[in-house]
Structure 1
Amino acid sequence: MALFAADYRRNDAWNPVSLNRIAPTVIMTGSEAELHDASGRRVWSVADANTDAGTPEMHRKMMAAGSLGPPRSLPVVVAGRPVGTLVVRVPQGSVSTVDKEFHSSVNRLLVAGALIAALVALLVGVYTARRATKPITELTSAAGALAAGHRDRRASTVPNNEIGQLAKAFNTMVEHLVKEDQLRRAFTADVAHELRTPLAILRSELEAVQDGIRQPTDGVIRSLHNETLRLTHLVADLEALASADAAAFTLERHPISLTSTVADTADSLAGRFDEAAIAVRTDLDMVWVDADPVRVAQIVANQLTNTLKFVPAGGAVTLTLHEIDGWAELTITDTGSGISADDLPHIFDRFYRSRTARADGSGIGLAVVAQLVKAHGGTITAHSTPGHGATFITRLPALRQNGTARTARADQRPTV
């Protein structure tokens, strides 16, 4: 329409000769067109045009276009007034068929692309999901194996994220369970061993009396009584150990003077040390702790009793108590035979008895001490040179004298 309007403006009227220049443009679309002036008189037609562009029918065949559509009247407007009407018949499908084929091709490509993208996304999602859930699946499997009693399974700790940390924590827990199971088995075996000897003696003595091999003399009765006492002491030690294991849940803690507790405990054992001709020396500063006084007294008493097995007559035991960097540090040093390098790592193990001990014991006393110290948030260490005595250092968090907690220096925190 713009071409026809421009031609009219140029000539200020409809000029068939000038309009023939527009004819090739119309003919190449395969369209038929004729122009009427404002009065409705036909002034130009494509069929009458003299041009080398061929005919509209030829171009329709070249484009494989369909038949002509119905005529459409399009007004030609110049300077706001109608100056004529263009009646045009456009081939059906000449443009729309191409558009449809193009659109159809585009749609097929879009559908195919969407399907491929969805398939790729699905495969990537499945791979990512399996990779993300693999550690969880392995952890679940390891937990199931643990529940079934298989403690040799471990979870993979490959991912360095929260799942990997969880797997590490799980493996640590399994290691602790394995260790606890080993300790339980060893504990059961040790208890059986400790009970076997006195029970065997009691049985043999009683059977000998029953068979008439031995008479129930005072000596036999005394032997039976001694073995009964030995069993009683063993049961008491086992009860103490069980109590120490549960001490963290049963401690009756409150601010106490550790100085008074240590001094009172040493005084209560003074008679036994006098009988053994062992001197007890003290150097105690005033130190307060938040602790169970009964359990703390047991910690001190067990250590002092243990020295009686190693310190010969004429020896000495020294107790010192000081506050060092927020810790109440109790040091018990003796002049005994010392602890061998082989025995030293095991002195806090249950039922462990050094070969240098002068008297029989259950081997539970120091194990109870270690448990009680740990329950109070402290540590205990031992140092010794064979032939030069031993030193036990117990550290507990100290309090100010007004009962408030001190802050222990991190670099001074002792390790077991």
Structure 2
Amino acid sequence: MAGVTRKKAGKNAAETAEAAHTRPLRGRPAAAPLRAAKRGSTTAAASGPRSSGSAALRTRAPRRSKADVERRAPRDKAAEREQLEEQCQRLERRAEAAERMLRDTVSTISHDLRNSLSVIVVSARMLMRSIPQDGPGRRQLDAITRAADEINQLAQDLVDAMSIESGSLRVGMSAHEIAPIVDRAIELVAPTVALKPLEITKEVPHNLPPITCDRDRIVQVVANLLGNALRFTPKGGRITVRAEPSGRSARFSVSDTGPGIASDQHPLLFARHAPPRRPMGQGMGLSAFVTKGIVEAHGGTIWVESAPGQGCTFFFTIPAAGLSERAP
């Protein structure tokens, strides 16, 4: 009897386990995933029986509808665009700060350099007064003053070039007569003219109306063009400075009798890094670039007319002032 009872009990246990595998899940464990699926948080399904006798549940993330994706896309793009704009603004601020620092550094160095050069030039010219034109050491002193003047001009051109490139060049506009401007520019180059015998003539009518300009800047323009002409005009040559009315502007010109400039070089003369102007290899440096920037800051234009062997003429225009604005 005992053996029969144990055999029967084992059979009943097996039947109970099989029933547990085959009948549907009931109660709260099965209902919870269904309720979650209705809420849209997950999607659940009951698997068949595993070898261990337990039922497995599979879950997967809910699928987004096309409408949900389309609604979210503009928000994502707007956030991305805003982030890019913030990055660009940060980079612009950094670039502006670096540019200001560079400009301030160059200005400081240029100022200190010019102060030192002024001492050299003044000392050399004082010595020249005590030495005859053909006396010993006169040529060396001439070379010192010439080199110092060129370095001084280069330092000023460097500061002005950076101001022009950054758009920070300042011009104080008021009405000024033309003749005194030309006279002052000729005075500035007089020491160089004395070292290189040649003729400078001025052709400025007395009845020209005044121009609206920054006087010191226009003096600088004329002096720069005269300096270029002096550099390339041979001894015994001639340089002519003219001014004449041209519509609502005054047209200035500086002509020389030097070797001239090939036509294919004309568009490059006023570039930041200009090529050599003449066969001797001397370039115009920054002076032409600075001159162009100053003229354009006044609302004028500048150009050149030249051909090899026929000299060179630079022209520029400056707007004329009304007679009521005539400078005292």
Q: Please give the TM-score of this superposition, normalised by the length of structure 2.
A: 0.52
- Alpha-carbon spacing, 1:227–1:265, altered in 2? closer, same or farther (3 Å): closer
Counting helix residues as a fraction of each chain, which structure ranks higher? 2
Kindly indicate whether residue 246 of structure 2 is the aligned counterpart of residue 324 of structure 1: yes
For residues 260-317 of structure 1, the C-alpha deviation after alignment (integer angstroms, 9 at most, x for no partner) is: 3224534665686575333525144513222222221121111112111222345433
Structure 1 segments unaligned to the other structure (5+ residues): 1-118, 150-172, 196-217, 405-416
Q: State the partner residue of 1:278.
A: 199
- Alpha-carbon spacing, 1:321–1:311, altered in 2? closer, same or farther (3 Å): same
Alignment of 1:240-319 (within 5 A): 240-243=157-160, 245-246=162-163, 250-266=170-186, 269=189, 276-284=197-205, 286-319=208-241
Q: Secondary structure at the match of 2:324?
A: coil
Q: Is the 8 Å Cα contact of residues 333 and 392 (structure 1) preserved in structure 2?
A: yes
- Alpha-carbon spacing, 1:223–1:148, altered in 2? closer, same or farther (3 Å): same
Work out the CA distance in 1 between the residues paired with 2:145 and 2:208.
43
Q: State the partner residue of 1:348.
A: 270
- Alpha-carbon spacing, 1:145–1:294, altered in 2? closer, same or farther (3 Å): closer
Q: Is the 8 Å Cα contact of residues 277 and 283 (structure 2) preserved in structure 1?
A: no
Alignment of 1:67-106 (within 5 A): none
Bigger relative contact order (CA 8 A; separation at least 6) = 2
- Alpha-carbon spacing, 1:222–1:245, altered in 2? closer, same or farther (3 Å): same
Q: Secondary structure at the match of 2:323?
A: coil
Alignment of 1:190-201 (within 5 A): none
Q: State the partner residue of 2:74.
A: 128
In structure 1, what residue type is equivalent to 2:249? W
Question: What value does the CA root-mean-square deviation take over the aligned residues?
Answer: 4.6
Work out the CA distance in 2 between the residues paired with 1:344 and 1:230.
27
Q: State the partner residue of 1:379.
A: 301
Work out the CA distance in 2 between the residues paired with 1:238 and 1:402.
38
Larger radius of gyration: 1
2:324 to 385, 389, 402: 402
- Alpha-carbon spacing, 1:335–1:147, altered in 2? closer, same or farther (3 Å): same
- Alpha-carbon spacing, 1:148–1:120, altered in 2? closer, same or farther (3 Å): same
2:155 to 224, 235, 238: 238
Q: Is the 8 Å Cα contact of residues 276 and 284 (structure 2) preserved in structure 1?
A: no
User: Structure 1 stretch 375-384 or stretch 291-300: which is displaced more?
Assistant: 375-384
- Alpha-carbon spacing, 1:234–1:301, altered in 2? closer, same or farther (3 Å): same
For residues 178-235 of structure 1, the C-alpha deviation after alignment (integer angstroms, 9 at most, x for no partner) is: xx9xxx9xxx9xx9xxx9xxxxxxxxxxxxxxxxxxxxxx87x986995697357414
Alignment of 1:33-72 (within 5 A): none
For residues 61-100 of structure 1, the C-alpha deviation after alignment (integer angstroms, 9 at most, x for no partner) is: xxxxxxxxxxxxxxxxxxxxxxxxxxxxxxxxxxxxxxxx
- Alpha-carbon spacing, 1:265–1:359, altered in 2? closer, same or farther (3 Å): farther
Work out the CA distance in 2 between the residues paired with 1:298 and 1:263.
12
Q: Please give the TM-score of this superposition, normalised by the length of structure 1.
A: 0.42
In structure 2, what residue type is equivalent to 1:255? A
Q: Is the 8 Å Cα contact of residues 209 and 323 (structure 2) preserved in structure 1?
A: yes
User: Structure 1 stretch 366-375 or stretch 298-307: which is displaced more?
Assistant: 366-375
1:392 to 306, 314, 319: 314
User: Structure 1 stretch 326-335 or stretch 244-253: which is displaced more?
Assistant: 244-253
Work out the CA distance in 2 between the residues paired with 1:272 and 1:302.
13
Q: How many pairs align?
A: 226
Q: Is the 8 Å Cα contact of residues 259 and 308 (structure 2) preserved in structure 1?
A: yes
Q: Is the 8 Å Cα contact of residues 259 and 309 (structure 2) preserved in structure 1?
A: yes
For residues 151-187 of structure 1, the C-alpha deviation after alignment (integer angstroms, 9 at most, x for no partner) is: xxxxxxxxxxxxxxxxxxxxxx9xxx9xx9xxx9xxx
Work out the CA distance in 1 between the residues paired with 2:299 and 2:181.
18
Work out the CA distance in 2 between the residues paired with 1:224 and 1:314.
22
Work out the CA distance in 2 between the residues paired with 1:137 and 1:123.
21
Shift of 1:402: 1.2
